[in-house]
Structure 1
Amino acid sequence: MSVIRGNSLLALVHRTARNQTLFRHVTHTAQYSTSQPTTRTSEELKNFKPVYKLPYIVHARVLCRLKLYQTAVVLCLTGASVATQADLFFPLTVCTVSLTMLSIMGEFFRKLIGILYVNPATDEVRIAHLNFWGNRKEIIRSINDIVPPSDIGENISDAFVKLKFVDKSTPNLYLSVKYGRILDKDLFQRVIGEDMNRQ
């Protein structure tokens, strides 16, 4: 009888320990999912007010797309030249230059900020920029996650200013106050952490 009670007690202890582990896992997952929301409803996105716009972002998108098409054409022509000619130096040189320019332009354009939105109620910034293929991409970060340009030695009056984030997983982006339009000065100052009246 004591053996049966001992086995029952042991089974109860194992079951309780397993349930506590499962409970801790579920609680941790719920906390993680609520702290980092991945999707926003259209109603939530309406609360973001545009504070900065780069008018030339459309031109940058067109250039980015043209570079992709040009690279595809050059690769096809290079393949045809390699198949039909003995001299490979010229077609391979043209192909290498084209691929190098594509990677440089793609890297720059994907970090170029087109529009900044701010939600004054939540102190969040919605940043629209291009990806490698020239399509629009958006990220949402807290204003507190943005390092002021002056703290990293950037001058806001330069042609392009680096926007750095506290979270190292977010890549640096580039902002152009010189060529862009500030739509709301006060909210823009909150984002970059500088007094625009001194510029």
Structure 2
Amino acid sequence: MILRSQRFLKLTYSLVASGPQCPHPCQGVHRFQYFGTKCLTSKSSIKLKHITFLTSSSTPKNWSHGLLQYHAQSSSSDLASQNYSLIYAFPAIKGLRALSRLKLMQTGITAALLPTVFFFYLQGQASITLLTYTTGIATFAAVMLYVISYYIRRVVGMMYLDSTHTKLKVSHLSFWGHRRDIYLPVSDVMTLGDTGDSPGESILQLKRYSCSDTFYFSPRLGLVVDKHSFEKVFGTLPQ
């Protein structure tokens, strides 16, 4: 009986040890499910941080989802760890940020007042004129919030260029007025000659060849910190 149990353990171990290995260098534990963890690599060591494993016999779909999630986090952290130098800044972005949050506050207040006015109207304590007036203000505030946020989100606050001059980091505002960074290949950014802007325009377009999204920046109203690096991305500045 002991010999049979030992043979059974050896056979089980050999079958498990011959299983598929993890294609990523962050340690391979076969027949385990990986969920969105971060791997920190260096020349001397490989560290695994905050890893959660759940045993499973075969979960290819979840495994693929975990790998995609890992690669997204890994590439994002790699981009954030690169050295970037400031090439353009727009100081008035702070004022636009305050305006965006003010519109959010105004819209929230009017939206909160509308149910109250409607309740008093049903109770006969508010007139139809007050209800119509409040509804109009709330609707106008919501439309203005959408319009203002639409353009504010496309104003470039700062631009950075990495040390290899191949990646451009563009900072702009989100819908909630927070800073958001996007990373663009320099080869994908249109030069000023390709965007169709005339040399005399104060506001220029930041466009890409791969998609139709458009951002806006102004070398005249803003500040070109590093003209040489700026022209490597956008070409010669219009005089």
Q: What TM bracket, shorter-length normalisation?
A: 0.7 to 0.9
Matched, 1:61 2:94: no
1:115 counterpart SS class: strand
Output the CA distance in 2 between the equivalents of 1:41 and 1:192.
Answer: 21
Q: Is the 8 A contact 1:157 1:178 kept in 2?
A: no
> How do 1:36-185 and structure 2 match up within 5 A?
37-40=75-78, 43-44=81-82, 47-84=83-120, 85-87=126-128, 88-155=131-198, 157-168=200-211, 171-185=213-227
Output the CA distance in 1 between the equivalents of 2:76 and 2:110.
Answer: 39
Output the CA distance in 2 between the equivalents of 1:42 and 1:134.
Answer: 21
Q: CA deviation at 1:89?
A: 1.9
Q: Is the 8 A contact 1:50 1:117 kept in 2?
A: yes
TM-score norm. by structure 1 comes to 0.74
Q: Which has the higher contact order (CA 8 A, sep 6+)?
A: 1
Q: Greater helix share, 1 or 2?
A: 1
TM-score norm. by structure 2 comes to 0.63
RMSD: 2.5
- Paired AA for residue 178 in structure 2: N
Output the CA distance in 2 between the equivalents of 1:111 and 1:146.
Answer: 15
**Deviation per residue, 1:84-108 (Å, 9 max, x gap):** 2341321111111100110011111
| Residue equivalent to 2:232 | 190
Instruction: Give aligned-pair identity as a percent.
Output: 25
Output the CA distance in 1 between the equivalents of 2:207 and 2:182.
Answer: 13
1:55 counterpart SS class: coil
Q: Is the 8 A contact 1:158 1:178 kept in 2?
A: no
Q: CA deviation at 1:42?
A: 5.5
Q: CA deviation at 1:38?
A: 2.6
- Paired AA for residue 174 in structure 1: Y
Q: CA deviation at 1:150?
A: 2.6
**Deviation per residue, 1:33-78 (Å, 9 max, x gap):** 59x933236541xx21100000101111111111101110111122
Q: Is the 8 A contact 2:97 2:177 kept in 1?
A: yes
Higher CA-based Rg: 2
List gaps (5 residues or longer) in structure 2: 1-19, 24-62, 121-125
Output the CA distance in 1 between the equivalents of 2:146 and 2:80.
Answer: 34
- The runs of at least 4 aligned residues of structure 1 exceeding 4 Å deviation read none
Q: Is the 8 A contact 1:149 1:164 kept in 2?
A: no
